[in-house]
Structure formats: C-alpha cells, structure tokens
Amino acid sequence: MKIFKTIRDKIAGFVRAVKKGAVSFVKNAPAVILVIAAAVTVTGVCNYAMLRRSRPELRTSEVWSQGSDVSFRHVAVYPKRDFGRGDVDSVRKSLQGIVDTSAGIRRKKSDKAIDPEGWVDCYCAFAAASLSVEHNGQDMDGEADVYAVGGDFKAFHPMEFLAGGFLPVKAVDKYQIVLNDELCWKFFSSYDVIGAKVTLLDKEYTVTGVVREHDDLKFRAYVYYDSLNEPGSIRSYEAMIPEQIKGAAMMDVRNSLPGYDMSSPEHYVVSVTGRYGIGSVIDNMLPPGETSAMLSDYDLPFWEMSAQKVTSEMFMWVVITGVGCIIILVTSIVLLRGIPVKKNGRI
C-alpha cells in the first residue's frame, strides 16, 4: 500500500533531515511521530494486559460457575460502620431467600439454610497483633496483620500454597493458623512447619498452612473469626451470587445490607467480576480523585488496596493508549493527504 511506502520514505527522509536542516525535518516529521505513537500504543496495551493477568481474583466467578448454566458474580462489600456476625447472618438470610426464589425453591422456616446453599460467601476482620513462637530452643515474637476469616475465604482469594492448605470452611479445630511466607520465614527460616505452634493473644494455634499472596511483603497470618474472643468489626464481606440478569447481583447485595442507602452509603460495594475491564476502570477513576476521596475513611484489606492501585495504573495505560491512537489517526490523515491521487490514469 502507498501509505506504508510513504511512511518508509518519510522515515528515510527524516534521517537525512537531521543532516540537512529543519525544513526537511518538518516535512518528514509526521511519519516519525506515527511510528513513535504506534510504539507507545503497543506499550500501553501490553502493560494493561500484564496488569490484568497479575490479578488472582480476576476469574474467581468463572471458576465457581464451571459446570453450571448460570453465571455468577463476585461482589465485595467494605463496611465503614460497625459490622458484626449478626449483620452477616442478616445478609445471608436475605441473599439465601433471593437465591431460593430465583431457583424456584420454597423452604419452611424450620428448613432455612444456616450457611449459604447454591452460592458462597466469606468475611473477615483484621488488626495488627503480636505473635510468638518457640523454635530451636529460642523464644521469638513479632508483629503481624492477623486476618480473622469466616466462610469460604479461599474461594475468593486464590493463593499459592507452599505447605499444607488453608483453613477448612468447617472447622474441626478452630485454633488453627495459616502463615504467609514472609512471617513463616521470619519465625522458622523454613516452610516445613506444619504442626508447629504459634501463640496469639495467649492462645496456642497450630500451623496448618503456609501461603504466598503475591500482593506485598508484609507479615500476615489467618485464623478463624470464631477463635477470637473479640475479633473486631468485620471489614470485608464477599459473596458469589448467581446472576440471571446482568447487574442484578449488585442490587441484591445492596438491598440485603442493613441500613444501606444509595444517597449516603455506609458501605463500599464493588463488583469484582469485570472490575478490570476498560469501561469499569474508567468509571472507577472518573471524576479524578472521587473514589480515593470516598475511600479515605475506610479501613480496607490489603487485597482491595492492591486492586485500587492496579486500577489506577491501568487507567494511566488506558489514557496513554488512547492518546497514542489519536496521534496515529491524526498523523495517518496527514500522510494520506500527502499521497498523490491518480485521476484519469494520471497523477
């Protein structure tokens, strides 16, 4: 095509322009700008794609819905006010009724499900705490972020297991603990620690797993929510809801939250499913600073803070890619206008 030949000639002319002067440079500059813009655009697309692939929660809903004719949506709730087990039970009761109605299931009051049936959820509280171990005849202690979890936490947060496994949904022994790799190495200098004992808040816990989270390098541990006398306010509630109509799951969760008001929400509700699509990234970041200002009063778990950071980086690459595409379009028009057009067999 003539445009590619024109670009090649223009680039060659640019090289000569460096030696001959500014007039020739101006003449050949559009082709060079086009090449640079194309390189920037490709870089933006590649970096955006790499950031998407780095998110472990990206396909949790797809994994859960495998083998089912119904799609599922992963919805996360981050409460700003006090939110306890009673609130979780209230949300579960409401969502179970919605799921049962959608599936055509009728239950007697005595048959109401205690735990989710046909869907799944999890919740957690977290705080910094002191842990101690006795290893090789030495007493060691340190601070770590302790996440007190309930429900099927692993279904929402894929992790790499270096030893053992995560806390089972149904606790056989509620005094079990999972360490992340950073904390495990600090205490034991090894990942072969299944069965080791860790003391937390004057209670002895048994190590059942070692995980790597791929989000940061902080010391972190996981225990059952019910193992703590005062686990604190729940800071994260997540549900995997069957969705017959797109967007219905978000509305179902919002309507199930005690005291939720769209005009003045006390909870930040986000659809994790699809949150890294271009449209969702732009919507989250515009107007600039609105989301970050709203979340300044929230105590967010590490994975949501990481997700917000990644979303911000994605938005940057979306903008760069968009600017590159505009420059490509404009310079292509300029180059096309410079190509001689044949009329009646003559140029």
Among 57, 84, 78, residue whose Cα is nearest residue 291? 78
DSSP conformation letters of 184-250: HHHHHSSS--TT-EEEETTEEEEEEEEEE-SS----EEEEEGGGSSS-----EEEEEEEESSTTHHH
What angle is formed at CA 75 by the lines to CA 249 and CA 116, rounded to 5 degrees? Answer: 75
| SS3 of residue 140 by DSSP | strand
Q: What is the pTM of this model?
A: 0.87
Three-state SS for 150?
strand
Tokens describing residue 129: 């705490």
Q: HEC profile for 238-290?
A: EEEEEECCCCHHHHHHHHHCCCCCCCCCCEEEEECCCCCCHHHHHHHHCCCCH
Structure confidence at residue 265 (pLDDT) = 74
Q: For tokens 């096309």, what's the residue?
A: 336
CA-to-CA distance for 326 and 23, rounded, in angstroms?
A: 25
> What is the β-pairing status of strands 203-212 and 197-200?
antiparallel
| Cα–Cα distance, 16 to 1 (Å, whole number) | 23
Residue 8, pLDDT score:
65
Residues 6+ apart with CB under 8 A from 308: 291, 292, 295, 300
What is the DSSP-derived secondary structure letter of residue 114?
S
Per-residue pLDDT of the chain (347 residues; tens, 9 = 90+): 555 666 566 666 656 665 555 545 556 677 778 888 999 999 999 999 999 999 988 889 888 888 778 899 999 999 988 899 999 999 999 999 999 998 888 877 656 667 899 999 999 999 999 999 998 888 999 999 999 999 999 999 989 999 999 999 999 899 999 999 999 999 999 999 999 999 999 999 999 999 999 878 899 999 999 999 988 899 999 999 999 888 899 999 999 998 888 776 789 999 999 999 999 999 999 999 888 888 988 999 999 999 999 999 999 999 999 999 999 999 888 877 765 545 555 54
